[in-house]
Structure 1
Amino acid sequence: MKKTFIAASMAAAFMLSSVSALAVTSNDQWQQTLEQAKGQTVYFNAWGGADNINDYIQWAADRIEQEYDVTLKQVKLTDASDAVNRVLAEKAAGKNSEGSIDLIWLNGENFRAMKDNALLFGPFSHNLPNYAHYVDESARQSLTQDFGTPVDGMESPWGMAQVIFMHDTETLATPPKSMNELLSYAQANPGRITYPEPPQFLGSTFLKQALHELTPDTSLLSNPVDQVDFHAVTAPLWAYLDQLHQVAWRNGQTFPSSSEEMMRLLDDQEIDVALSFDISAASIQIDRGNLPDSVRSYVFTKGTIGNTHFLAIPYNSSAKAGAQVVANFMLSPEAQIRKQNPTVWGDLSVLSYAKLSKEQQQAFDTIPRGIATLSIEELGQTLPEPHSSWVTALEKEWRERYAQ
């Protein structure tokens, strides 16, 4: 018994020393990353279509420069695919270092395109201290599966989003809470319902939301699109849109360009329902005086599409260390708490509440929700994104059928 106890003790001591050595090595590696990052400029390619998000990125840039001596410059995009195409062009031209992009905000088909074409640096996310301390991969499938594509540490989660709808309670007391109810409402009230034009991401998401509700077998949506009978699966969607467009805003001949335009139309009382992928969009616009304070957010009864969005580093980035420092800061409780504030952004945090300290939990608990922001409970069921290959197929078919 004594020999067994001594052997077990020695094994335990060895295991503890090994874990300690790994922790020291990991800490040493991160310290090296911090040193390499000093003085670097990180060109961050990110969607620039919302002032509040741009303001948040500038706040982060100021904090990162102050704390880490890293300069963050936002390159504002209309679509993340523009950045993906630029990295692809640089690779084709043999520019395998000193690339023009150091960090990209992306997910879905853009991540899959970068991964499939070996355009990514990494894996790196598991090396970020804040990822190790605060992210629980088991909490949500979308942390490890980006629209069906395994993340494999090649991008770092930044936030979570879910489709919400908005209505003015003064003009529409009981809004439609399913796709079929939306069609019925549009038929009874011609010209009052619309959605953004694909391939604008929210317009494409509207197609996915409708497809999820209308197709008989939703399990097929998790497969790559070339492995299913696309025309059979999507037939109910096109039949639905054929009916909707006949009674839609401007007779389905013109579509809003974005969620922001939909909210302007809602404010002008041209339409009755707007939508966004930002759960605090209505609160933010009310706070800024762009929507009346009678506007409220809601979700469909059986749930709405939701996902995680990420930060990725191109393989030819000239500031890989600086980009990792930025990604790590964006995962800090400080940055995530500020980002979840509905008057700042309202983006849902990717951090595990259970992994936070009591003080950090309290800081999250006391975030003001905003007059029209739904609670986590009110958001209800999050519907999974289809496999990323569905996006291109849906957008192509939509344009062939409906684009003017």
Structure 2
Amino acid sequence: MNKLVSTLSILATAYASGTFAESSTNDHWTQIKQQAEGQTVYFHAWGGSQEINRYLQWAGKELQSQYGVTLKHVKVTDIAETTTRLVAEKAANKNTGGSVDMVWINGENFKSMKDNELLFGPFTQNLPSWEFVDKTLPIDVDFSEPTEGLEAPWGVGQLVFIHDSESLYNPPKSFSEMLSYAQAFPNKLSYPRPPEFHGTSFLKSLLIELTKNDATLQKPVNEDDFQTLTAPLWQYLDKFHKVAWRGGKQFPAGTSETIQLLDDGQIDLAISFNPNAVYSAQASGKLADTTKAYALESGALSNIHFLAIPWNSNASAGAQVAINFLLSPEAQSRKGDLNVWGDPSVLSSQYLSGSAKNTQQFKSVGEPHPSWQAALEKEWLKRYGS
């Protein structure tokens, strides 16, 4: 009887102190690691940056050597392509053995995947690396949509412009100044062609300035609000395109092309969603040492970008191990290294090393509701896409 009482007492103490729960969590993670060994994770992610591609190659080598997990980077131009594929698999009742194991997403695509029940989880708080994440960042929402543990934060994005301080000492500090500059110096400014991510971000940031960040932008879009609020946007673009690079008849394909055009002297401002991209471009010889990144006076359109796992992943254990590694101090410190990628980290700085500890960030401007993105892209293509 005394033994029984003693055992119950020990168990009660373990529960009260959290030791039992911690042991259970450790056992759970050990099982996931065992299941992950030998799995191949097909990771759908944007492939338009050599720096990012090289970083993922490094991560793949580390995952293979440390965990026996093979990471295959499936390079996509727009993650919406992957969303379409997953919707088709859902419609065909392919609930196991899916072709996608992990995705790099945010905003509109996250909401679409969540609404269509295409996501595995919640899983984030089961990751051992979760303890390192900076919980003061807005990791609980993605473009105003609650994440609910269905995606893990990976990095911080901010819309910035890059200029050569030797040829453009005092760059435009607002979109109003940008239009004046374009009219004074025709053929020297542009932006990526929507629906490319950076091009659409340019539109959203411009709309926020023109509407003084109207509260309606935080709500699901409706036709009447859209027509009223976007009228100044199209008026602005009609003027801007007349004096833009190539007369607004052609647009750069993405951030990499704007950086190339800046380096070639064809345009005076490149665009990026990484405030530290200028450093990695300088390190690889793509930009002069005199180039600098800056945000507009009102701040930089900002968001967290995330990693998620489809509901029918063929390697959900491997994907969890991969995401956990990508959130580790080792991987986040390398990702934040200004000579590697320079992507601002989602970890508390105390866990970071090297230049990742001090990556540059600007004053933040929040994203509109994700429904505005599709509406803006559709209208832009209708007006300027042909």
Q: TM-score range by the shorter chain?
A: over 0.9
Return the TM-score normalized by structure 1.
0.90
What is the CA deviation profile of residues 97-139 of structure 1, one whole-angstrom value per residue up to 9, with x for unaligned ones?
Answer: 00111001111111111100011111111111111x11233x1
Identify the residue that residue 233 of structure 1 maps to in structure 2.
229
Task: State the 1:140 CA deviation.
Answer: 2.1
Identify the residue that residue 347 of structure 1 maps to in structure 2.
343
1:228/1:36 CA distance change after superposition, 3 Å: farther
Identify the residue that residue 242 of structure 2 maps to in structure 1.
246
1:48/1:217 CA distance change after superposition, 3 Å: closer
1:130/1:367 CA distance change after superposition, 3 Å: closer
- What secondary structure is seen at the aligned counterpart in 2 of 1:225? coil
What is the CA deviation profile of residues 166-215 of structure 1, one whole-angstrom value per residue up to 9, with x for unaligned ones?
Answer: 11122111110110010111111111111001000000000011011111
| Distance in 2, Cα, partners of 1:92 & 1:245 | 41
More displaced, 186-195 or 198-207? 186-195
Identify the residue that residue 322 of structure 1 maps to in structure 2.
318
| Distance in 1, Cα, partners of 2:14 & 2:64 | 39
Confirm or deny: 8 A CA contact 2:122 2:150 kept in the other structure: yes
Confirm or deny: 8 A CA contact 2:301 2:365 kept in the other structure: yes
Confirm or deny: 8 A CA contact 1:342 1:368 kept in the other structure: no
Confirm or deny: 8 A CA contact 1:249 1:271 kept in the other structure: yes
Moved over 3 A (4+): 13-18, 366-369
Is 1:136 aligned with 2:134? yes
Confirm or deny: 8 A CA contact 2:335 2:356 kept in the other structure: no
Pick from 149, 159, 166 the counterpart of residue 163 of structure 1: 159
Confirm or deny: 8 A CA contact 1:45 1:103 kept in the other structure: yes
| Distance in 2, Cα, partners of 1:136 & 1:56 | 22
1:151/1:16 CA distance change after superposition, 3 Å: same
Identify the residue that residue 86 of structure 1 maps to in structure 2.
85
Task: State the 1:18 CA deviation.
Answer: 5.3
| Distance in 1, Cα, partners of 2:42 & 2:334 | 22
Identify the residue that residue 383 of structure 1 maps to in structure 2.
365
Confirm or deny: 8 A CA contact 1:220 1:228 kept in the other structure: no
1:50/1:329 CA distance change after superposition, 3 Å: same
Is 1:282 aligned with 2:281? no
CA RMSD of aligned residues (A): 1.9
User: What code does the residue aligned with 1:75 have?
Assistant: V
Task: State the 1:218 CA deviation.
Answer: 2.4
Is 1:396 aligned with 2:348? no
Pick from 256, 260, 272 the counterpart of residue 256 of structure 2: 260
Confirm or deny: 8 A CA contact 1:224 1:387 kept in the other structure: yes
| Distance in 1, Cα, partners of 2:240 & 2:76 | 31
Identify the residue that residue 220 of structure 2 maps to in structure 1.
224
1:340/1:93 CA distance change after superposition, 3 Å: same
Pick from 162, 165, 178 the counterpart of residue 174 of structure 2: 178
Task: State the 1:235 CA deviation.
Answer: 1.4
In structure 1, list runs of 5 or more residues that go unmatched: 1-9, 370-374
1:35/1:15 CA distance change after superposition, 3 Å: closer
| Distance in 2, Cα, partners of 1:278 & 1:33 | 33
User: What code does the residue aligned with 1:136 have?
Assistant: D
User: What code does the residue aligned with 2:385 have?
Assistant: A
More displaced, 273-282 or 106-115? 273-282
For this pair of structures, how many residues does the alignment match? Answer: 378
More displaced, 211-220 or 151-160? 211-220
| Distance in 2, Cα, partners of 1:65 & 1:216 | 49
| Distance in 1, Cα, partners of 2:224 & 2:41 | 41
- What secondary structure is seen at the aligned counterpart in 1 of 2:279? helix
Task: State the 1:15 CA deviation.
Answer: 7.7
Confirm or deny: 8 A CA contact 1:45 1:77 kept in the other structure: yes
Confirm or deny: 8 A CA contact 1:197 1:256 kept in the other structure: yes
| Distance in 2, Cα, partners of 1:88 & 1:16 | 42
